[in-house]
């Protein structure tokens, strides 16, 4: 698929996945139906949320979460600046204003609850907690903050399916009023394009189910089975349905999700062991966070932006693919949301980090190659 010696990520589709999709295609039913229902049941059990509602993307999940949260044009929504743009575009789809807030530090680059608290105004209605790179944000502190200020907590779990927020194993997407997940092709549970909303609130779940399919009072699958001969339209809805081939693929892949997250975690542990104390390089987060993360990506920190850019160039010249994520206020469209005083920790995170190759199919040999090239690059 690529000429990289070690690609950033690698998607493996075993024969059982191919068979699951083939069976679906041969069944003659391609839109949301029995496989989607089965995938939703598996997801509900996996995440530990009573309602798991699949949709067409993580962005659609965030949009519907904002609608189910009742957000609208007068509202402000606090969003960390270290995230993917969809966390901030979704509130804007419903007319709300994103208020960018800082992260704790480059060593813990999730939303800083203290900075979020400082940005609450009478118009604030919600906080988006992003579990960036698979590392859980401090949702306990954010839950308290939201409860104390009558705010809704939306968890953006797009990069974090399977991440745990405590030692009891409670997962991300179960503490906010709403959680949004992505099954995009680079994610831990990937089907190409897809997403999910989780919520413990049955009324909000009903609203998400309604709005994902044009606000129709019955589904095509219901009508096909003769349950509902006609339908009504009871709101302005969307076509955010997941289709059956993707649900079939997801259902096949979810059986291996925990094992594949464990493999990612094992690679991260191996990397960290080899890189600890290396001059010129810092490792964000601690061992407890590593055990809780579901490891979408493996970021390391360089001294500053020029050092990071030189480091990436040397790795590229040696066949190692890396990436990095700009902070939201670095984008042309989002400069307007940069607060006075800036977002110093988010900026330092954007400037200093570099994500190294990480996938569930990596082996010791890949890690050896990356560490060898990286050591030479830092020397």
Ligand X SMILES: Cc1ncc(COP(=O)(O)O)c(C=O)c1O
- What does the binding site for ligand X look like in residue numbers (CB under 6 A)? 57-59, 62, 83-84, 86-87, 130, 156, 158-159, 182, 184, 195
Closer residue to ligand X (CB): 47 or 374: 47
Minimum Å gap between C-beta 162 and ligand X is 15
Judge contact between 245 and 24, C-beta under 8 A. Answer: yes
Minimum Å gap between C-beta 9 and ligand X is 12
Q: In this structure, what token pair is assigned to residue 91?
A: 């509130």
Closer residue to ligand X (CB): 51 or 159: 159
Minimum Å gap between C-beta 221 and ligand X is 23
Closer residue to ligand X (CB): 103 or 281: 103
* Residue at shortest CB range from ligand X: 58
Q: How far from 4 is each of 1, 282, 313, 319, CA to CA, in Å?
A: 9, 25, 13, 5
Please name which of 91, 56, 96 lies closest in space to residue 212, comparing C-alpha atoms: 56
Closer residue to ligand X (CB): 285 or 311: 285
Closer residue to ligand X (CB): 158 or 248: 158
How many Å apart are CA 332 and CA 336, to the nearest integer? 8
DSSP string, 187-211: SSS--BS-EEEEES-HHHHHHHHHH
Minimum Å gap between C-beta 187 and ligand X is 7
Minimum Å gap between C-beta 62 and ligand X is 6
How many Å apart are CA 170 and CA 207, to the nearest integer? 25
Q: In this structure, what token pair is assigned to residue 163?
A: 């991440």
Minimum Å gap between C-beta 137 and ligand X is 11
How many Å apart are CA 354 and CA 301, to the nearest integer? 6
Q: Which residue has the tokens 């953006």?
A: 156
Minimum Å gap between C-beta 8 and ligand X is 14
Closer residue to ligand X (CB): 57 or 219: 57
How many Å apart are CA 45 and CA 347, to the nearest integer? 38
Minimum Å gap between C-beta 291 and ligand X is 21
Judge contact between 32 and 244, C-beta under 8 A. Answer: yes
Q: In this structure, what token pair is assigned to residue 28?
A: 């003659």
Mutual orientation of helices 244-254 and 15-27 as an angle, nearest 10°? 150
Closer residue to ligand X (CB): 257 or 374: 257
Closer residue to ligand X (CB): 349 or 374: 349
Burial of 158 (C-beta count, 10 Å sphere; 0-12/13-18/19+): buried
Dump strand ranges (E) for 25-171: 51-55, 76-80, 97-101, 103-105, 108-111, 124-130, 152-156
């Amino acid at each position: 698929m690529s000429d990289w010696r070690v690609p950033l990520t690698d998607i493996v589709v075993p024969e059982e996945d191919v068979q699951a999709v083939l069976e679906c295609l041969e069944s003659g039913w391609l839109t949301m139906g029995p496989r989607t229902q089965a995938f939703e049941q598996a997801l509900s059990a996996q995440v530990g949320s009573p309602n798991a509602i699949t949709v067409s993307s993580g962005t659609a999940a965030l949009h519907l979460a904002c609608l189910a949260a009742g957000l609208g044009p007068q509202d402000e929504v606090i969003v960390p600046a270290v995230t993917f743009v969809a966390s901030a575009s979704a509130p804007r789809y419903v007319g709300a204003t994103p208020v960018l807030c800082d992260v704790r530090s480059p060593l813990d680059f999730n939303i800083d609850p203290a900075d979020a608290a400082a940005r609450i105004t009478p118009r604030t209605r919600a906080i988006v907690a992003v579990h960036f790179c698979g590392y859980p944000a401090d949702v306990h502190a954010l839950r308290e903050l939201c409860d104390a200020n009558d705010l809704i907590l939306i968890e953006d779990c797009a990069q974090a399916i399977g991440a745990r927020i405590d030692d009891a194993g409670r997962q991300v997407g179960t503490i906010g009023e709403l959680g949004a997940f992505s099954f995009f092709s680079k994610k831990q549970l990937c089907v190409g394009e897809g997403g999910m909303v989780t919520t413990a609130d049955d009324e909000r779940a009903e609203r998400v189910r309604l709005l994902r399919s044009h606000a129709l009072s019955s589904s095509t699958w219901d009508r096909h089975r003769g349950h509902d001969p006609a339908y009504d339209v009871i709101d302005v809805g969307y076509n955010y349905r997941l289709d059956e081939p993707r649900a079939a693929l997801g259902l096949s892949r979810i059986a291996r999700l925990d094992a594949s997250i464990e493999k990612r975690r094992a690679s991260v542990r191996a990397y960290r062991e080899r890189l600890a104390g290396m001059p010129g390089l810092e490792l964000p987060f601690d061992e407890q966070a590593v055990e809780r993360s579901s490891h979408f990506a493996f970021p390391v920190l360089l001294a500053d932006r020029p050092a990071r850019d030189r480091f990436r160039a040397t790795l590229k010249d040696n066949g190692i693919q890396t990436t990095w994520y700009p902070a939201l206020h670095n984008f042309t469209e989002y400069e307007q949301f940069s607060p006075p005083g800036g977002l110093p920790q988010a900026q330092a995170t954007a400037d200093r980090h570099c994500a190294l190759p990480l996938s569930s199919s990596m082996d010791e040999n890949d890690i050896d190659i990356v560490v060898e090239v990286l050591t030479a690059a830092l020397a």
